Every structure is written in C-alpha cells, then in structure tokens.
C-alpha cells in the first residue's frame, strides 16, 4: 500500500469510527494520517488536506470534552412538561393532538416522559405506527439503537401490529441502522394473505396500503415559547433579521404550510447548503430527529456555534437535499423555530424546525 492509499484508508476508517460514536478511535486515525503527511515533503505541499484533518481533530476533541464535561441533567418539572404537551399540540383529532404533545416533549429533551406517552399511544390504532416510529426516533437520538432493534423484534413476535404496519417499521428502522453502519438486518414480517372476494376464483393482488400521515414534531409559536421562558425552561431566539426572498418560482406556494403534509414520506436526513456567513456555499448533513408532515426537526450540538448562529428562525434555505429510506430529492424550506434545550440528556444543544416549502 503506497502512502496516499494509506492516508486515504486512515481517513475513511476515522469517518466510520466517528459515525459510530467511537470518538477516541476516530481522533487517533486522523492524527496518524496527519503525522504521515508531515513526514512527507511532497504531500506537505498540499496544505489543505492537513488543515482539514486538523479541523476534524479539533471538532472531535470538542465533542469528547462536551461529553466528559456535560453536567448532570434533570427532567423538567411535571407541570412544565404538561404545559409543553398542551400548548404545542394543535390537531383537532384528540389522538393526534396527544401524539403532537408527546413529540413536543421529545423536542424539548424530555425523552423519559415522551417515551412513556408514546408507549401509551401505541395502543391506539389510528396513530399506532406513528407512535412506534417516534419511539424509534427517541432511541436513535439517545444513541440506544440496540433498544429500538429489541423493540422491533418484540413487536414482530406480538400481535399489536399487522404485517403491512411491521413492514413500514422495518423500512424505517433498517434505514437508521444502515446509515449508522451497523451490520444488522431486521427480519421481514410474514406477509398476510388477502381474503378472496365471494364468487371470485382468481387471485387478486392486494391494493397497497396508503402511508399513514406522519404525525409528530411541531413548531414553537413565539407566544408559547415566551410562556415557557417565563417558567425558566426555554430560551427563545431573538427576532430574525430580514432574509433574502425565495425566487419567483415560489410565488404560488402556500404561505402557511408549504407543501401538503400528506405528500411527504419519512425523511431520515437532510443536507443543507449554507447561503449565509463565512461558510457560505458549504454543505452540512444532519439527521432528522422528528417529523410532522412537512416539518422536520434537527438537533444541533452546542459546539457547532457557527451553525446555530447561521440557522436562526426565519432563515430561508434554498438548497436542501433530502434523504429517505426509499428516495432522494431536493427542495427548499425555512427555519420555522430554533430553541435551546434547557434540560434532559441533550441539555445545551439546540432544537431546530425546518418547514419544507417545495420539493
């Protein structure tokens, strides 16, 4: 293996380690690659790669310091959790309203209470799949994907979900496992036979089951955010500065909701091309934590101060690349809400809502 291939291999291994949360191993591999470059005068002329490696090492070190120095977190008081559930749920249907409230808790970092609510809501037929997906999302955010796999296997052997529902959950969870580089293949649910219609002897194909409308994440209206801030739990973002308008092709869009919620499938991650700031033109890919129709929720580390400053509420995003378990597509959106998480396992990080306007 020549020197260039050795460096490439070390960097690829470091990226894999980083995605799996093996920060120390990732940092060591980047450092080894940097040491090899420094010893080679020819490679040393390419200063950009050395600068990039140094930045990655600094970023990983910041992540390690953040984890090691993270304060002991506590849950919000129950009365504040109840305020969140009641104020950030807007659906007319009571079941979906309860689901929105539970997702709001998760977006505020209250995962223990959120999981309790989701496990209760999973018993309700019309929101069962959505509740299950949000349980999986909570385990994903908490870096407990193995728990989600165990739950899937438990659901698979039970009778709560039918085969089409289990297949949706399998596709959803398998995509998460694949993106994390986990060598796990989920078992496929057995296909249920469709009952034949009376007096019809020939076999007929079962019609596809339409996707349930994705329920979940919600934006944070300013008035309600201020109400929670008065309880000392949530910090609101200042009024955003005026941002560039969308191009003429967006004039016919729905001003309030963007594209219809039912037109969107599950989005697992989004790549954002930054239009403003010192890193204008650069791209960043973030996992989607929660989704409600055309609104996706992202978590941003407190260490990523530039991204927090750039993606303020009101900022319009003209170059978005969406990834789902079955498709990839581009679109535009707007940052509809941004707030600092004040308690729970993700204390100090930021919760960001993006409303998708066009795809």
Per-residue pLDDT of the chain (359 residues; tens, 9 = 90+): 678 888 888 898 888 888 877 888 888 888 888 888 877 877 767 777 888 888 888 888 888 877 666 544 556 788 888 888 888 888 889 999 999 999 989 888 899 999 999 999 999 999 999 999 999 999 999 889 999 999 999 999 999 999 999 999 999 999 999 988 888 999 988 754 444 444 433 333 344 434 444 444 444 444 344 444 444 444 444 444 444 443 434 434 444 445 554 456 788 889 999 887 667 888 888 889 888 878 899 999 888 888 888 898 899 999 999 988 777 889 999 999 998 888 777 888 999 999 998 87
CA pair distance 74, 226, nearest whole angstrom: 21
Number of folded domains that form the chain: 2
Coil, strand or helix at 190: coil
Domain ranges, residue 248: 243-358
CA pair distance 211, 262, nearest whole angstrom: 9
CA pair distance 27, 35, nearest whole angstrom: 12
Q: Answer whether residue 251 is part of any domain.
A: yes
CA pair distance 352, 359, nearest whole angstrom: 20
Reading the block at residue 302, the tokens are 């407190």
Taking the mean position of all CA atoms in its chain, how far away is CA 211?
20
CATH number at residue 291: 2.40.10.220
Q: Answer whether residue 78 is part of any domain.
A: no
Q: Answer whether residue 196 is part of any domain.
A: no
Out of 28, 44, 68, a domain closes at 68
Reading the block at residue 47, the tokens are 């200063």
CATH number at residue 47: 1.20.58
Confirm if 339 and 236 have CB atoms less than 8 A apart.
yes
Q: Answer whether residue 252 is part of any domain.
A: yes
In this structure, which long-range contacts are made by residues 281-287, counting pairs with CB atoms below 8 Å and at least 24 apart in sequence?
283/321, 287/140, 287/179
Q: Answer whether residue 145 is part of any domain.
A: no
Residue 46: CA count within 13 A, CB half-sphere? 10
Q: Answer whether residue 280 is part of any domain.
A: yes
């Amino acid at each position: 293996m020549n020197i260039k291939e050795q460096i490439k291999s070390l960097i690829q291994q470091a990226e894999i380690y980083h995605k799996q949360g093996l920060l120390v191993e990732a940092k060591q591999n980047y450092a080894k690659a940097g040491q090899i470059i420094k010893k080679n005068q020819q490679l040393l002329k390419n200063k950009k790669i050395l600068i990039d490696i140094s930045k990655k090492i600094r970023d990983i070190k910041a992540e390690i310091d953040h984890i090691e120095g993270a304060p002991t977190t506590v849950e919000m008081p129950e009365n504040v959790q109840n305020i969140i559930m009641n104020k950030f749920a807007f659906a007319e249907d009571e079941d979906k309203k309860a689901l929105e409230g539970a997702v709001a808790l998760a977006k505020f970092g209250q995962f223990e209470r959120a999981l309790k609510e989701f496990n209760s809501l999973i018993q309700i037929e019309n929101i069962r799949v959505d509740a299950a997906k949000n349980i999986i999302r909570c385990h994903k955010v908490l870096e407990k994907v193995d728990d989600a796999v165990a739950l899937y296997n438990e659901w698979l052997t039970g009778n709560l979900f039918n085969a089409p529902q289990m297949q949706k959950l399998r596709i959803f969870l398998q995509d998460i496992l694949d993106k994390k580089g986990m060598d796990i293949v989920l078992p496929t649910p057995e296909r249920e036979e469709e009952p034949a219609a009376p007096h019809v002897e020939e076999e007929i194909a079962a019609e596809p089951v339409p996707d349930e409308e994705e329920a979940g994440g919600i934006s944070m209206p300013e008035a309600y955010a201020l109400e929670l801030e008065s309880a000392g739990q949530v910090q609101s973002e200042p009024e955003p500065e005026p941002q560039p308008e969308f191009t003429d092709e967006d004039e016919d869009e729905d001003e309030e909701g963007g594209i219809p919620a039912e037109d969107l499938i599950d989005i697992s991650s989004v790549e954002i091309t930054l239009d403003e700031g010192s890193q204008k033109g650069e791209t960043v890919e973030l996992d989607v934590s929660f989704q409600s129709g055309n609104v996706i929720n992202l978590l941003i580390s407190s260490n990523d101060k530039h991204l927090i400053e750039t993606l303020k509420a009101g900022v319009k995003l003209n170059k978005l690349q969406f990834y789902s378990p079955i498709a990839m597509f581009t679109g535009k959106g707007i940052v509809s809400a941004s707030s600092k998480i004040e308690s729970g396992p993700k204390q100090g990080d930021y919760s960001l809502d993006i409303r998708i306007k066009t795809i």
